[in-house]
């Protein structure tokens, strides 16, 4: 395992006296696909909002030696922490390549954007390859499929050389094939980076998670491997009580062995 880890300790976030996150601790290391799951309102998005500086939190969120809490959003981005949102935030009218250029900070004048290009920046080429978007270079982002838009967002984080990718419900609304492709993509990029996925999709979690933290009402209910959290009676109780039989059935399926990631 190489690179710094993300270590969140006793994270607490309040909104006007309402405790949304009440002392949550978890860590995430390069080389694993880390999941944060839990019912609606459990505090998952608030945790990543606090880590990325969008919401104020107390406690600690360290990336290696750097404390993230209390830093401004752009400084956290500069430290290599990137995130996606539940709704893809790409520029629909620009091509895939133009979106990636902007993400890479290679802003060009409107004239040079219109000029024929000599070549593609190597970091962009690599991100296109990794995300399977190499054939979509000139496609306007607005006409990409839902899955491809999410992959473009991930590619934008890769060209920024993000060390930490915090992904909020990356497979929501995707087809089965797109979910599988996304899981495989996450396994590939996690080989050298920290990947933390907030998800509702239990089948996706079961197939691709290395370790899981289950949140409930702003607290850690359980953490461990997929098999360990599935076997936890507290997790079963929360999902029985709040998420219905479909989720419970998905949680109960024995996990498939993980494919080894390539380095």
Query: Which residues of the shown chain bind ligand ATP in the complex (CB under 6 A)?
Result: 15, 18, 20, 38, 40-46
**Closer residue to ligand ATP (CB): 20 or 167:** 20
Least separation in angstroms between residue 10's CB and ligand ATP is 17
Least separation in angstroms between residue 56's CB and ligand ATP is 11
In whole angstroms, what is the distance from residue 78 CA to residue 218 CA? 28
In whole angstroms, what is the distance from residue 208 CA to residue 6 CA? 19
**Closer residue to ligand ATP (CB): 242 or 261:** 242
In whole angstroms, what is the distance from residue 37 CA to residue 214 CA? 5
**Closer residue to ligand ATP (CB): 54 or 94:** 54
DSSP state of 253: S
Smallest CA-to-CA distance from 171 within 193, 189, 186 is with 186
Least separation in angstroms between residue 149's CB and ligand ATP is 19
Contacts (Cβ under 8 Å, ≥6 apart) of 112: none
Least separation in angstroms between residue 69's CB and ligand ATP is 16
Least separation in angstroms between residue 229's CB and ligand ATP is 16
**Closer residue to ligand ATP (CB): 38 or 57:** 38
**Closer residue to ligand ATP (CB): 42 or 226:** 42
Least separation in angstroms between residue 72's CB and ligand ATP is 18
Angle between the 96-103 and 122-131 helix axes, to the nearest 10 degrees?
120
**Closer residue to ligand ATP (CB): 44 or 207:** 44
Q: What is the 3-state secondary structure (H, E, C) of 17-71?
A: CEEEEEEEEEEECCCCEEEEECCCCCCHHHHHHHHCCCCCCEEEEEECCEECCCC
**Closer residue to ligand ATP (CB): 41 or 132:** 41
In whole angstroms, what is the distance from residue 218 CA to residue 220 CA? 7
Residue 161: left if φ>0, alpha if ψ -120 to 50, beta else—which one? left
In whole angstroms, what is the distance from residue 56 CA to residue 71 CA? 10
Least separation in angstroms between residue 243's CB and ligand ATP is 11
């Amino acid at each position: 395992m190489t690179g710094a880890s993300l270590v969140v300790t006793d994270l607490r976030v309040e909104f006007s006296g309402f405790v949304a996150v009440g002392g949550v601790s978890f860590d995430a290391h390069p080389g694993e696909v880390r999941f944060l799951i839990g019912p609606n309102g459990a505090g998952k998005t608030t945790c990543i909002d606090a880590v990325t500086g969008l919401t104020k939190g107390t406690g600690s969120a360290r990336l290696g030696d750097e404390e993230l809490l209390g830093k401004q959003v752009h400084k956290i981005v500069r430290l290599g922490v990137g995130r996606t949102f539940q709704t893809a935030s790409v520029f629909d009218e620009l091509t895939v390549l133009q979106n990636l250029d902007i993400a890479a900070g290679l802003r060009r004048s409107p004239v040079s954007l219109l000029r024929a290009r000599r070549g593609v920046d190597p970091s962009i080429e690599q991100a296109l390859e990794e995300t399977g978007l190499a054939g979509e270079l000139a496609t306007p982002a607005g006409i990409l499929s839902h899955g491809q838009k999410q992959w473009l967002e991930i590619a934008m984080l890769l060209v920024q050389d993000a060390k930490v990718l915090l992904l909020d419900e990356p497979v929501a609304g995707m087809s089965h094939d797109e979910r599988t492709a996304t899981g495989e993509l996450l396994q590939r990029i996690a080989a050298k980076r920290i990947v933390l996925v907030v998800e509702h999709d239990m089948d996706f979690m079961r197939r691709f998670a290395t370790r899981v933290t289950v949140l409930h009402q702003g607290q850690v209910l359980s953490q461990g491997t997929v098999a360990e959290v599935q076997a936890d009676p507290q997790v079963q109780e929360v999902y029985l009580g709040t998420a219905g039989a479909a989720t419970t059935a998905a949680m109960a399926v024995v996990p498939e062995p993980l494919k080894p990631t390539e380095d």
